[in-house]
Amino acid sequence: MNEDVKDLNLSVVKAFTLLDAFTMDKQEWGVRELALKKGYNKSTTYRLLNTLESLGVLQKNDNDKYLLGLKLFELGNLVAIHKTLRKYSRTPLENIAREIKETVHFGVLDKNQVLYLNKTESPQGLKVSTQIGSYQKAYCTAIGKVLLAFLPEQKITNYLKAVSLDACTANTITDGEALQKELQKIRAQEYALDMEELELGLICIAMPVYNNKRQVIASISVSGPSSRFKLENIENYISIIKKGAQAIEASMH
Amino acid sequence: MNEDVKDLNLSVVKAFTLLDAFTMDKQEWGVRELALKKGYNKSTTYRLLNTLESLGVLQKNDNDKYLLGLKLFELGNLVAIHKTLRKYSRTPLENIAREIKETVHFGVLDKNQVLYLNKTESPQGLKVSTQIGSYQKAYCTAIGKVLLAFLPEQKITNYLKAVSLDACTANTITDGEALQKELQKIRAQEYALDMEELELGLICIAMPVYNNKRQVIASISVSGPSSRFKLENIENYISIIKKGAQAIEASMH
DNA sequence: AAACAGTGTTTCATATAATGAAACGTTTTA
DNA sequence: TAAAACGTTTCATTATATGAAACACTGTTT
């Protein structure tokens, strides 16, 4: 909305603002409700949606409601950045999931958040389910803490300045200095734990993935309910995840 | 450009027209070259690209060139339609690829073309490689012919009216009546062959995937070089593909 | 060292094209 | 039957996208 007054094309901004309303939780929108939600005029909204539909960016449901269209699927699959990472992470993630039988995630840091690039879901009924392409807070997830830990010091400082460490549960680290200490520990042990810091009952363990210059470029995490996730298994989990990380690293060299 | 004069928002149309220039073959664009390519004014192009960048739809390279951005990755992963199909096709496709050791594709019909929703690549060096989310002609691919064959008769007629059957190789079926006969044969035998009709040296075999109303909603194909693809194996391939198709069907019920 | 060709970027007067209140035509609900 | 919801169209208004030209910068060529 209130951008840097950078001479942007307002129609295009509006169009993508409308698209942002389409989420996992609300996949369909009618003209009026979307106009109301975004505070745009009915006519404007109608014409923008109409335009987006004619481009294949949206498509109409049976109910005359709009849905995200296949043009976005097409464009999304062309996004070059991280594409290689996604491709090479697939098999290793599946191997980890097969051994540990919990949901495995693969992500990178983008705009101070964790961006999930890939996943393999646990075969069990009770499991974590995250949307590929979605973002999550970095400071209270195992995967995010790994990615933060191996950032250059200046960038960690910037992160702490930019982000407010809100509590998600009673376990969330909400103090900057405490987080710094935690990151230091993670660098030393080369893995991170999330002990119900994002969500009660949810425990994760994450490890870094390196490029050939030994920079951390991504992270793998395993997530499961606290009822199944016993601390005595951690050593075992670590060696399995490590193997997966190395497989990804090898395929990129 | 010359749409149905449907009162579209031209800026939005232009924005997506610019995005269409980003393909697998050309992933980066500068302002001037893109303006030239699309016939837009430099300033207009500059501002549109700028707008798209500020939205995360594009991002800048080191060279000041633009690349498709993560916003599109995010949106692409939210496209609901066919998402279920993609999810449930993954494991069966991998099983087929493991047994046959050739590239396996999974697609649907969209706008008179085959839309590739998923794939598993052959482990062998010489292999077919298709872009997920990309489109291909239906009439000269095995997967496309299966999808056409099980369309309602009226829709087949419409297809033949709308599409011109251009020859891709000497084997391409370019005659409407001949294609009708071919589709009839495919319906009877429940599989389609592409005997180098799209590309010389490339042979494919495809079979339908049904929903619980016994309508064909998607198709699986196996593609390989004619040097490896022997006709005496077809019976074997068919039973393997069939098993995969049934696995997908079962998981959707 | 100077001129040149290539970028991306900014300016500003102009006219095009997006805008929104209101009216319209359907369908769904009361 | 009325009312309320929806998507859609109209049309005068003015806000906003436009493009030629100038600008700033970079790397290359003379």
Q: pLDDT tens-digit profile of A158-173?
A: 999 999 999 999 999 9
pLDDT, position A205: 97
- My answer on whether A52 and A117 are in the same domain is no
pLDDT at B1 over 50: no
Q: How many angstroms separate the CA of B133 from the C1' of D15?
A: 39
pLDDT, position A218: 96
pLDDT, position B3: 33
- My answer on whether B143 and B184 are in the same domain is yes
- My answer on whether B108 and B231 are in the same domain is yes
Res. A6 pLDDT band, cuts 50 70 90: low
Instruction: Report the candidate in B184, B189, B201, B177 with the shortest Cα–Cα distance to residue B128.
Output: B201
**Domain for residue A138, yes or no?**
yes
pLDDT, position A129: 79
**Domain for residue B152, yes or no?**
yes
- My answer on whether A206 and A97 are in the same domain is yes
Res. A2 pLDDT band, cuts 50 70 90: very low
- My answer on whether A220 and A99 are in the same domain is yes
Q: pLDDT tens, B47-97? A: 999 999 989 999 988 778 999 999 999 999 999 878 888 889 999 999 999
pLDDT, position B207: 98
Lowest mean pLDDT, pick from A4-8, A13-17, A209-213, B223-227:
A4-8
pLDDT, position B18: 94
Q: Is the dihedral of CA B81, A134, B53, A36 positive or negative?
A: positive
Q: What is the CATH number of the domain that holds A30?
A: 1.10.10.10
Res. B4 pLDDT band, cuts 50 70 90: very low
**Domain for residue A66, yes or no?**
yes
Distance CA A250, CA A229 (A): 29
Helix (H) or strand (E) holding B195: strand B192-195
* Among candidate residues A44, A76, A108, the one where a domain is terminated: A76
Tell me what the mean pLDDT of segment B122-137 comes to: 86
DSSP B1-39: ---------HHHHHHHHHHTT--SS---B-HHHHHHHHT
Residue A207 contacts residue A146 (beta carbons within 8 Å): yes
pLDDT at B209 over 90: yes
- My answer on whether A47 and A99 are in the same domain is no
* Among candidate residues B76, B93, B120, the one where a domain is terminated: B76
Residue B71 contacts residue A12 (beta carbons within 8 Å): no
Q: pLDDT tens, B169-195? A: 999 999 999 999 999 999 999 999 999
Q: What is the ipTM of this complex?
A: 0.85
Q: Is B175 within 8 Å of chain A by CB? A: no
Res. B154 pLDDT band, cuts 50 70 90: confident
- My answer on whether A91 and A17 are in the same domain is no
Which is higher by pLDDT, B206 or B152? B206
pLDDT, position A7: 80
Q: What is the DSSP letter of A169?
A: S
pLDDT, position A212: 79
* Among candidate residues A76, A99, A116, the one where a domain is terminated: A76
- My answer on whether B53 and B94 are in the same domain is no
Distance CA B212, CA B227 (A): 38
Distance CA A206, CA A214 (A): 17
Cβ under 8 Å to A: B residues 128-157 = 131-135
Distance CA B66, CA B27 (A): 8
Contacts of B49 in chain A (CB under 8 A): none
**Domain for residue A134, yes or no?**
yes
Tell me what the mean pLDDT of segment B203-221 comes to: 92
Tell me the one-letter amino acid at B68: L
Q: pLDDT tens, A43-67? A: 999 999 999 998 999 998 878 899 9
Tokens 């490896």 belong to B228
Three-state secondary structure call for residue A146: helix
Structure tokens that stand for B212 in this block: 């619980």
Q: How far is CA A10 from CA A1, A44, A157, B55, in A?
A: 9, 12, 34, 11
* Contact at CB, B67 and A81, closer than 8 angstroms: yes
Q: What is the CATH number of the domain that holds B173?
A: 3.30.450.40
DSSP A5-28: -----HHHHHHHHHHTT--SS---
% of chain B with per-residue pLDDT over 70: 98
Q: Is A201 within 8 Å of chain B by CB? A: no
- My answer on whether B68 and B91 are in the same domain is no
**Domain for residue A4, yes or no?**
no
Strand ranges (E), B92-133: 103-110, 113-120
Which is higher by pLDDT, B214 or A5? B214
pLDDT, position B15: 94
| Positions 1-20 in A, CB within 7 angstroms of strand C | 7, 10-11, 14
Strand ranges (E), chain A: 58-60, 66-68, 103-110, 113-120, 135-137, 192-195, 202-210, 216-225
Preferred mutation among A17, A51, A130 to probe B, highest tally of B CBs within 10 A? A51
Report the number of distinct structural domains present in chain B.
2
- My answer on whether B101 and B61 are in the same domain is no
Q: Is A27 within 8 Å of chain B by CB? A: yes
Tokens 């840097």 belong to A4
Q: pLDDT tens, A216-238? A: 999 999 999 988 888 888 999 99
- My answer on whether B166 and B222 are in the same domain is yes
Three-state secondary structure call for residue B69: coil
- The neighbouring-strand residues paired with A183 are none
Q: How many angstroms separate the CA of A113 from the C1' of C5?
A: 42
Tokens 């050309």 belong to B26
Cα A8–A9–A14 angle (5° rounding)? 110
Instruction: Report the candidate in B176, B173, B180 with the shortest Cα–Cα distance to residue B151.
Output: B180
Preferred mutation among B6, B7, B9 to probe A, highest tally of A CBs within 10 A? B9
Q: pLDDT tens, A99-158? A: 999 999 999 999 899 999 999 988 787 778 788 999 999 999 999 999 999 998 989 999
- My answer on whether B164 and B44 are in the same domain is no
**Domain for residue A3, yes or no?**
no
pLDDT at A244 over 90: yes
Q: Is B55 within 8 Å of chain A by CB? A: yes
Q: Is B21 within 8 Å of chain A by CB? A: no
**Domain for residue B3, yes or no?**
no
pLDDT, position B6: 64
**Domain for residue B144, yes or no?**
yes
By residue range, what is the domain housing residue B241?
83-252
Q: Note the maximum CA span of chain B.
A: 61
